[in-house]
Amino acid sequence: MRRFFFHLIAVLTLALSALAADSPTLRQTFPLPSGVSTAFTAIAPNGQRVAAACSDAKIRLWDIVSASLQNTLDLKGERPNIVRFSPDGALLAAGSSDGTLRVWDSSGALRYDLKLAAEIDAIAFSPDGTRIAAAPNGLPVEIRELGANKLVASLPATFSGAASLAFSRDGRWFASADTDTEIRIFDGRAFTLHARITDLLLEPLALTFSPDGSRIIAGGADGVITLIETNTGKIVKSLPKQADVVYVLRASPDGKSVAASYFNPDQMSAPGRLLIWDAITGSLRSTVSTTEGGFNGGDYLHDGTLLLTSSSEKELKIWSIR
């Protein structure tokens, strides 16, 4: 209980100071060891912990409010591509370039150790944390029951695999951004195909649900963020096209804004931008830039007034945003 109040007071302090800001303001940094950069980050849904897949084949977990390093998981040479927390924050999954899919509990104990046929491009937990979806490179998406390590469903694209996966928070829907340029929407429990979005010409690289699950937010190589009505599979809005490629997408907790990282397709290692869009009007709210490399992860914190970002810079950052 004491720890809870400590977190609450600290988060509220950060959030209140953020309200006064008109444009993103750097609030806090999480330095990485010398020579180490992140490949991807995930934030626990309660906003208390951040996990970073690091270039030295380690996963680092920080307590966000105290900015203290809590745990380091050594993958012994396997490079983690992607990390995700279960919706209750109790489990952390990491997919590696050698196809290893590992799941730890909050104490850092390894709970599941699976091996897929190819390196893992994307993972997503079902809302109850009992199932995990994984996208092995170039192969069908796999849905697995974690406890029994049982394959529940295999969801092939026309060719190749998927770049991004997501469950809606209520578990009703599951969606995949597939490398054949389609977005596929499935029933989130039976995994029967519900709708195919075939309007995109270029590959969608990022995908997330709005908090109420009514919309899918997707973006990719065409530089356009597309809002899709989940139930019908119809595109209901497209945000202004950018010259750069959309790489990471996050919806704010209130569903009113979308944070999107972009990279320059002609020079992916060039400094990147993160644009915060009004999801209702489609107008640009604010911009955050890196000094080197593109943003590769992050998420909204608390009520959406704080944003954590990771990039190839030598630290994670928390920004105050409007």
Partner 1 sequence: MSTPFSRREILQKSLALGTLVIASPHAPSAMLHALEQNEQCKPTPPNDLGPFYKRLAPEAASLRAPGDPGMPLAVSGRILNTRGEKLSGAVLEVWQTNHVGHYDVEGYRYRAKLIADASGAYKFDSVVPGHYPDRVCQHIHYLVTAPGHKPLVTQLYFATDPVFEGDPDKNFSRDPLIHSRELVRPVTLAGDPKDIIAKVQFELCLERA
Selected range binding partner 1 among 17-25, 125-133, 202-210, 275-283, rule: CB under 8 A = 202-210
Among 193, 265, 281, 289, binds partner 1 (CB under 8 A): 265
Other beta carbons less than 10 A from residue 261's beta carbon: 27
Among 56, 203, 229, 278, binds partner 1 (CB under 8 A): 203
Tell me: does residue 245 bind partner 1 (CB under 8 A).
Answer: yes
**Residue 273, phi-psi category: left (phi > 0), alpha (psi -120 to 50), beta (remainder):** beta
Among 64, 141, 166, 205, binds partner 1 (CB under 8 A): 205
CA distances from 2 to 7, 50, 89, 208, 218 (A): 9, 21, 19, 34, 40
Q: Answer whether 226's CB lies under 8 Å from 235's CB.
A: yes
Tell me: does residue 39 bind partner 1 (CB under 8 A).
Answer: yes
Task: Tell me which residues in 69-88 interact with partner 1 (CB under 8 A).
Answer: 77-79, 81-82
- ∠ CA(156), CA(160), CA(165), 5° rounding? 65
* Backbone CA torsion sign across 246, 264, 296, 310: negative
**Using a CB cutoff of 8 Å and minimum separation of 24, what contacts does 276-285 make?**
276/24, 276/307, 276/321, 276/322, 277/225, 277/239, 279/210, 279/217, 279/227, 279/251, 279/252, 279/255, 280/256, 282/237, 282/238, 282/239, 282/240, 284/240, 285/257, 285/321, 285/322
Tell me: does residue 158 bind partner 1 (CB under 8 A).
Answer: yes
Give the shortest CB-182-to-partner 1 separation in angstroms: 9
Total residues contacting partner 1 by CB under 8 A comes to 49
One-letter amino acid at 84 equals R
Among 47, 213, 220, 233, binds partner 1 (CB under 8 A): 220
Among 9, 110, 193, 202, binds partner 1 (CB under 8 A): 202
One-letter amino acid at 92 equals L
Residue among 157, 128, 129 at smallest CA distance from 142: 157
Tell me: does residue 34 bind partner 1 (CB under 8 A).
Answer: no
Among 125, 247, 277, 319, binds partner 1 (CB under 8 A): 247
- Residue 317 β-bridge partners: 29, 309
Task: Tell me which residues in 275-314 interact with partner 1 (CB under 8 A).
Answer: 293-296, 311-312
Give the shortest CB-314-to-partner 1 separation in angstroms: 11
Site string for partner 1, 117-156 (x = CB under 8 A): --xxxx--------------xx------------------
Tell me: does residue 219 bind partner 1 (CB under 8 A).
Answer: no
Among 106, 160, 231, 238, binds partner 1 (CB under 8 A): 160
State how far the Cα of 106 lies from the Cα of 108, in Å rounded to an integer.
Answer: 5
Contact set with partner 1 (CB under 8 A): 37, 39-40, 55, 77-79, 81-82, 96-98, 119-122, 137-138, 158-160, 163, 179-181, 200-203, 205, 220-223, 245, 247, 263, 265-269, 272, 293-296, 311-312
